[in-house]
Amino acid sequence: MPITPDGPGEAPVVICLHGLRISKHDADLLTVTGMLHQAGLNVLLFDMRDHGLSTIEDGQISIGTKEYRDVIASVDWLIDVQGIDAKRIGIYGDSMGAATAAIAFGLDQRIQSIVLDNGYLNLHKIVREELKREGLPQFLANGAIWAAWIFGNETLLEPSPELAFIKHENRPLFAMHGTADTRVLPHHTKDMEVLAKQQGANLTTWFVESAGHSEIKYLYPNEFSTRISEFFRSGKIPAF
């Protein structure tokens, strides 16, 4: 359920998405939602398919290409069941949650604003980088993508997080990344800057020196909290 200290009121509602192989109970996500809650915003948490206490569809992770449907269903629930005005809905995603959020943002214009925390942009690149991280040759990427389609009916490459920047409709985007992130390399957010410029997207970025994966919120908690809460309220990042 969406919550604020004083009830839902008229404050923005932020759908918050967890990362790979974790759930809505993950400490990283609860830290962010706690910040938003304390700032007086509504939050909605749920487990994406094949995660946490959600439905086990096939036990496979689709790096956002199926999970985005759960986000759109959540938007439907907020509007149709809770009576939330679409103009109040924003979305925050961490890591794979960021990629999932980006896909949903690109496909559902009811989502008004988005925060991408150490997310990835190009799905083919992230598959190659995951193989390298696991000590496997990157040339296996095409085979892995083919196998996912043949044996699991997983496209893996479509729809893409790039849709957030292609179908932005001038809605505000905020992307952050730690420069020491070795889990999702920071070039992904730099690539977002390039694509946003090409597509005329309203993107603000924040790169934090020496921050690892999902660490910005812990290294600079006050600034992190202020930046995201004010962004969801106004679509703008306060000056520091």
Q: How many helices (H) and strands (E) does the chain have?
A: 9, 6
Q: Is the pLDDT of residue 24 over 90?
A: no
- The verdict on residue 200 lying in a domain is yes
- The verdict on residue 25 lying in a domain is yes
Q: At what angle do helices 141-152 and 123-133 cross, to 10 degrees?
A: 110
pLDDT of residue 3: 42
- The verdict on residue 65 lying in a domain is yes
- The verdict on residue 7 lying in a domain is no
- The verdict on residue 197 lying in a domain is yes
Query: Could you read off the pLDDT of 51-102 as tens digits, one per residue?
Result: 556 666 665 666 657 889 999 999 999 999 999 999 999 999 999 899 999 9
Say how many domains are in the chain: 1
pLDDT of residue 140: 52
- The verdict on residue 2 lying in a domain is no
More confidently predicted of 69 and 19: 69
Query: Could you read off the pLDDT of 26-62 as tens digits, one per residue?
Result: 899 999 999 999 999 999 999 887 755 666 666 566 6
| Cα separations in angstroms, 131 against 63, 140, 149, 169, 195 | 14, 8, 17, 34, 25
Domain extent at residue 153: 13-234
> Which CATH number does the domain housing residue 84 bear?
3.40.50.1820
Closest listed residue to residue 111, CA positions, set 8, 227, 15: 15
pTM exceeds 0.75, yes or no: yes
Peptide bond into 5 cis (omega under 30): no
- The verdict on residue 86 lying in a domain is yes
- The verdict on residue 8 lying in a domain is no
pLDDT of residue 17: 94
Query: Could you read off the pLDDT of 211-239 as tens digits, one per residue?
Result: 999 999 999 999 999 999 999 999 988 87
Question: What's the Rg (C-alpha) of the chain?
Answer: 17
pLDDT of residue 202: 97
